């Protein structure tokens, strides 16, 4: 027992050291990406400032070049497409194997060029994947064992989100609620440390300010709490449609065999949107700020809602580099603004306008991602608003259950499952083993089978225990060996049983 305690103590202090490094690099990459996106936002305005033959020709030439670069980057780093969040989860589960450097370069260059053209995609997903990729690179460089690298990747991903939105608590919740879907101090502790460090790096370089400048000045009165229910219903419905559209557009682009036709369609729609409705391009941070500063007519709010809903899912479905959080927040803010515009004349809600936008932002996240606590904490940190947690919580829970009633799966679960069907993205080790996969787990607090012999453990599926590492010594197990806290177990399982076994070892 004494040796077990000493091993745990060493691991805890090693986690501190690793998390400080991971948080620093994740913060630097996230800040770099934010800087690139800000510059691309500026140049995109110039590109679409005039509608004439010269501007169109420049955009066509630029579209061809950018399409070629993105295509080459995605071939070089196949796991760099999309937001990167499903890929990080797959990396943690051992299903995928990122090439760290190509992934980092592809995210920054591909995401930046896509934003220059006007793709309606956000920065949080790329920041999360870049944080995870940087953590993996560091873990391999300092020769950490595979299971500890997984915790480092989790910490890097959490830190990436924290720095992207200046929301360190949300980074921790994201690690627990979205990536691991279970609580463990080996998940929470490194994620917390890395998120704080990454947020500090962001503050030092970009300035100590919240992600958005608007906030709630007065909480919604309890007599108006029914407003939160209305926003929850609308965001739940819209979120369900959003998740459905992403899968449909993914299917559409998969049916297009010609790369020229695929990127031609993507760029054509982008250029049309850029000239007809420029506000619909890019992630939408500036648009959300404008929406909070002044009220828009109902028709304009509807236009924002519909363009962002269809154009964001269209861009994401193409598989290019970019996330969905920020565009989704714009959609949610539009839902809140729409409800406000409908009700304001009859109920005197003028002073609560920003409340509606923030409530809509939380509601849409809950329905799309299906992580209720993350939805509340993230939006609260981004807007520095903690005064109306009751209203936020009601919106989130209503939106969550509306999405559940629609039977539309959480978006990242759907995207992860879809990527698992692509054999080209599976890790080389898994491809070599055919239908089998190798996983490593550390026995931590809370696992009910600790202290039992292997013979007495009722595993949900057939597995082969290949080895047990205890106090630095690796042993070949027998049925009578007892599993202890701190043991590192290497198991061989069928690939199709990986998720169920993963849940078992994490006590989900």
Give one DSSP letter per residue of 321-382, joined into a string. Answer: B-BSHHHHHHHHHHHHHHHHHHHHHHHT-GGGHHHHHHHHHHHHHHHHH--HHHHHHHHHHH
Residue 442 or residue 182, greater confidence: 442
Residues 201 and 305 in one domain: no
pLDDT value at position 4?
46
Residues 134 and 244 in one domain: no
User: How many domains, the chain?
Assistant: 3
- Tell whether 460 is covered by a domain: yes
Give, in order, the Cα–Cα distances in Å from 406 to each of 2, 243, 411.
Answer: 52, 11, 13
DSSP letter at 177? Answer: I
Whether residue 174 contacts residue 374, with contact meaning beta carbons closer than 8 Å, is answered with yes
- Using the 3D structure, point to which of 386, 420, 454 is the last residue of a domain: 420
- Tell whether 448 is covered by a domain: yes
Q: Which of 141-150, 157-166, 353-362, 432-441 is the least confident region?
A: 432-441
pLDDT value at position 97?
86
Residues 401 and 478 in one domain: no
Q: Is 60 exceeded by the pLDDT of residue 429?
A: no
Residues 40 and 185 in one domain: yes
pLDDT value at position 466?
77
- Residue 44: which CATH number? 1.10.3080.10
Residues 413 and 443 in one domain: no
Whether residue 333 contacts residue 360, with contact meaning beta carbons closer than 8 Å, is answered with yes
- Using the 3D structure, point to which of 206, 241, 274 is the last residue of a domain: 206
Instruction: Give the tens place of pLDDT for each residue, 256-282.
Output: 999 999 999 999 999 999 999 999 999
pLDDT value at position 498?
67
Whether residue 403 contacts residue 242, with contact meaning beta carbons closer than 8 Å, is answered with no
- Tell whether 93 is covered by a domain: yes
Buried b / exposed e over 304-326, threshold 16 CB at 10 Å, is bbebbbbbbbbbbbbbbbbbbbb
Whether residue 168 contacts residue 162, with contact meaning beta carbons closer than 8 Å, is answered with yes
Instruction: Provide the residue range defining the domain that includes 331.
Output: 222-420
Residues 198 and 63 in one domain: yes
- Range with top average pLDDT, 91-100, 130-139, 182-191, 406-415: 130-139
Residues 458 and 353 in one domain: no
Residues 389 and 250 in one domain: yes
- Tell whether 427 is covered by a domain: no
pLDDT value at position 1?
43
- Using the 3D structure, point to which of 396, 420, 444 is the last residue of a domain: 420
Q: Is 90 exceeded by the pLDDT of residue 70?
A: yes
**H or E element that contains 316:** helix 298-317
Residues 186 and 248 in one domain: no
- Tell whether 213 is covered by a domain: no
Residues 443 and 393 in one domain: no
Residues 445 and 371 in one domain: no
Nearest partner of 107 among 87, 77, 136, judged by Cα: 77
pLDDT value at position 175?
87
Instruction: Give the tens place of pLDDT for each residue, 137-156.
Output: 999 999 888 778 888 999 99
pLDDT value at position 51?
92
Instruction: Give the tens place of pLDDT for each residue, 374-397.
Output: 999 998 888 877 777 889 999 999
Q: Residue 425 — very low, low, confident or very high, per pLDDT cuts 50/70/90? A: low
- Tell whether 459 is covered by a domain: yes
User: Is the entire prediction scored with pTM above 0.85?
Assistant: no
pLDDT value at position 90?
87
Instruction: Give me the mean pLDDT over the 300-322 stretch.
Output: 96
- Tell whether 42 is covered by a domain: yes
CA distance 149 to 34: 26
Residues 404 and 477 in one domain: no
- Tell whether 73 is covered by a domain: yes
Q: Which of 52-66, 104-118, 164-178 is the least confident region?
A: 164-178
């Amino acid at each position: 027992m004494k040796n077990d305690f000493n091993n745990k103590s060493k691991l805890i202090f090693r986690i501190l050291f690793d998390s400080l490094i991971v948080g620093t690099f994740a913060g630097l990459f996230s800040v770099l990406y934010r800087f690139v996106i800000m510059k691309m936002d500026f140049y995109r305005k110039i590109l679409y400032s005039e509608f004439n033959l010269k501007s169109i020709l420049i955009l066509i030439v630029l579209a061809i070049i950018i399409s070629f670069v993105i295509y080459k980057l995605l071939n070089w780093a196949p796991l760099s497409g999309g937001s990167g969040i499903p890929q990080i989860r797959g990396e943690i589960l051992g299903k995928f194997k990122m090439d760290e450097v190509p992934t980092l370069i592809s995210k920054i260059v591909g995401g930046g060029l896509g934003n220059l053209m006007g793709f309606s995609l956000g920065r949080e997903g790329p920041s999360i994947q870049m944080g995870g990729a940087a953590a993996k690179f560091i873990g391999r460089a300092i020769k950490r064992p595979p299971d500890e690298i997984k915790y480092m990747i989790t910490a890097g991903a959490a830190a990436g989100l924290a720095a992207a939105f200046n929301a360190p608590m949300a980074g921790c919740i994201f690690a627990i609620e979205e990536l691991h879907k279970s609580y463990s101090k080996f998940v929470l502790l490194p994620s917390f440390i890395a998120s704080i460090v990454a947020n500090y790096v962001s503050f030092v370089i970009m300035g100590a300010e919240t992600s958005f400048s608007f906030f709630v000045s007065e909480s919604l009165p309890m007599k108006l709490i029914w407003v939160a229910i209305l926003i929850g219903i609308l965001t739940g419905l819209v979120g369900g449609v959003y998740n459905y559209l992403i899968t449909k557009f993914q299917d559409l682009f998969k049916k297009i065999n010609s790369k020229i036709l695929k990127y031609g369609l993507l760029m054509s729609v982008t250029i049309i949107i850029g000239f007809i409705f420029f506000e619909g391009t890019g992630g939408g941070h500036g648009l959300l700020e404008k929406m909070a500063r002044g009220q828009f007519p109902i028709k304009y709010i509807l236009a924002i809602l519909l363009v962002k809903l269809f154009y964001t899912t269209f861009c994401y479905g193409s598989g290019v580099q970019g996330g969905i959080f920020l565009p989704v927040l714009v959609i949610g803010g539009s839902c809140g603004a729409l409800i406000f515009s409908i009700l304001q004349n009859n109920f005197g809600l003028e002073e609560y306008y920003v409340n509606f936008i923030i409530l809509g932002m939380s509601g849409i996240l809950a329905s799309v991602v299906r992580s209720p606590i993350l939805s509340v904490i993230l939006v609260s940190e981004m807007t520095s608003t903690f005064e109306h947690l009751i209203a936020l919580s009601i919106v989130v829970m209503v939106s969550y259950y509306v999405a559940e009633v629609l039977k539309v799966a959480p978006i990242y679960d759907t995207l992860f499952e879809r990527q698992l069907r692509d054999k080209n993205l599976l890790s080389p080790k898994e491809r070599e083993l055919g239908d089998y996969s190798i996983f490593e787990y550390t026995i931590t607090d809370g696992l009910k089978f600790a202290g039992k012999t292997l013979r007495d453990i009722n595993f949900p599926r057939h597995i082969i225990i290949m080895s047990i590492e205890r106090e630095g010594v690796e042993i070949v197990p027998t049925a009578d060996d007892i599993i202890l806290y701190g043991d590192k177990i290497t198991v061989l399982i069928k690939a199709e049983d990986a998720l169920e076994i993963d849940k078992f070892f994490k006590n989900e």
